[in-house]
Amino acid sequence: MARDKFVWSRRRAGRALGRLGWTAFLGASIVTPAWFVFGDEPLRVDDGALNPLVFVVPTIAGFFVLVLVPQTLALVRRPLVTGSHYALTIRPGVFRTLVLPWAQIGELVALVVDDEAYLLIRCVPLRVRSGDWPRWWDKGHLRAARRGAAMAAAYDLAVPMGEFEGHPDRLLDQLGRWAPAHVGVVNRL
């Protein structure tokens, strides 16, 4: 029986859980002293004006809640790489799952940036793009890769290969077997 698609198996969510735990610990270690210092502040000062110090603890706590939301989503919506003979399906972060037709992909590169292996994807500039063209929210990992390697600036999307089971060489080899001839598959690990 022939398989009509491939799927990269994801690792356990240990890294995402670790980031969530450290951020929660950092938030608690900042909010707790702020609460001890500013927790007893009155709502109004002596002349009846609103006391701005009463907003210190809720502001800090609100900031950390906003930071924790995407990290909590990262436990549920993890990176995804799957494909068929028609398209490559990618979820680089927690927001969108992109279906990129092979006709829209020009090159796939595996690259190590700061001890993290990334799959970099270069899309072909077409007059008519699919609705799943990578946007700013999809490029979070690409921005991280660009900070570590200038050559990553020539690509449109990045997926951390450390989130998947198996060695990056093997993962790229599996992906290369499904890529059509016009798509360059380069290993720079």
Q: Has residue 1 got a pLDDT over 50?
A: no
| Same domain, residue pair 104 and 120 | yes
Q: Give the Cα separation of 138 and 68 in Å (integer).
A: 18
Which domain does 45 fall in, by range? 14-76
Contact 111, 161 (CB under 8 A): no
pLDDT score at 130? 65
More confident residue, 101 or 13: 101
Domain boundary among the residues 49, 76, 103 is at 76
Distance CA 174, CA 130 (A): 25
| Residue range 70-116, pLDDT digits in tens | 889 888 888 899 988 888 999 988 888 999 999 899 999 998 888 88
Residue 160 and residue 132 share a domain:
yes
CATH number of the structural domain spanning residue 180: 2.30.29
The model's pLDDT over 23-75, given as tens digits with 9 standing for 90+, comes to: 999 999 999 999 999 988 888 888 888 989 999 999 999 999 999 998 898 88
Q: What is the pLDDT of residues 124-147, one digit of tens each?
A: 877 766 677 888 888 888 888 888
Tell me how many domains the chain contains.
2
Flag whether 150 is in a domain. yes
